[in-house]
Amino acid sequence: YNMFNCKLLLCIPVYGNTVQHLHSSILYQNLAKEVYFMTDCIFCKIIAGKIPAAKVYEDEGVLAFLDISQVTPGHTLVVPKKHFRNLLEMDSVNSSLLFEQVPQIARKIMKATGATGMNIINNNEEIAGQTVFHTHIHLAPRFSEKDDLKVTFVAHEPNFEELGKLAEKIAQTKE
């Protein structure tokens, strides 16, 4: 659920945690299926049909559309129709529905574009590069090392004792 726990309502934050619920016949007409909607979220507006998008896949719970930035040709965003700030807020049912579609959409993009690889990227929170706060998965087809997508990891010499301690701490941490 989104932070306002709203279902088929147009939700407008008023002050603090107060929310004004407005039933909208247009919203009901546009959204035949169960959709969680935030009035200030660009992806919710795309899902509701208020902003056009180049759709490549759609079902009851998921929408995939071409990213307007097109970092590489075919760069696609896969989003849940229910509003979640990011993957860290999603429950197992909704994240499963989202990720169930990612491989098939990625394969279709690769086949249609002739890509030889695919980066599947998800950013959670601003520090990690998230700029739109509605869960989304980037599917970025790769054609050569000289394209416009640069992902760099810096490898460090392993300290196996510290790795063991960290792994134990993570394993014992309650969600």
Residues tagged active-site: 136
- Report CA torsion sign: 59, 6, 38, 9: positive
Dist CA 62 CA 22 (whole Å): 24
Distance of CA 172 to the CA centre of its chain: 28
Q: Which two tokens stand for residue 129?
A: 């590069």
Dist CA 77 CA 2 (whole Å): 19
Q: Which two tokens stand for residue 141?
A: 């087809």
- Residue 77 phi/psi, 5-degree rounding, is -110, 130
First to last CA, the chain: 17
Q: Looking up tokens 């970092």, which residue turns up?
A: 71
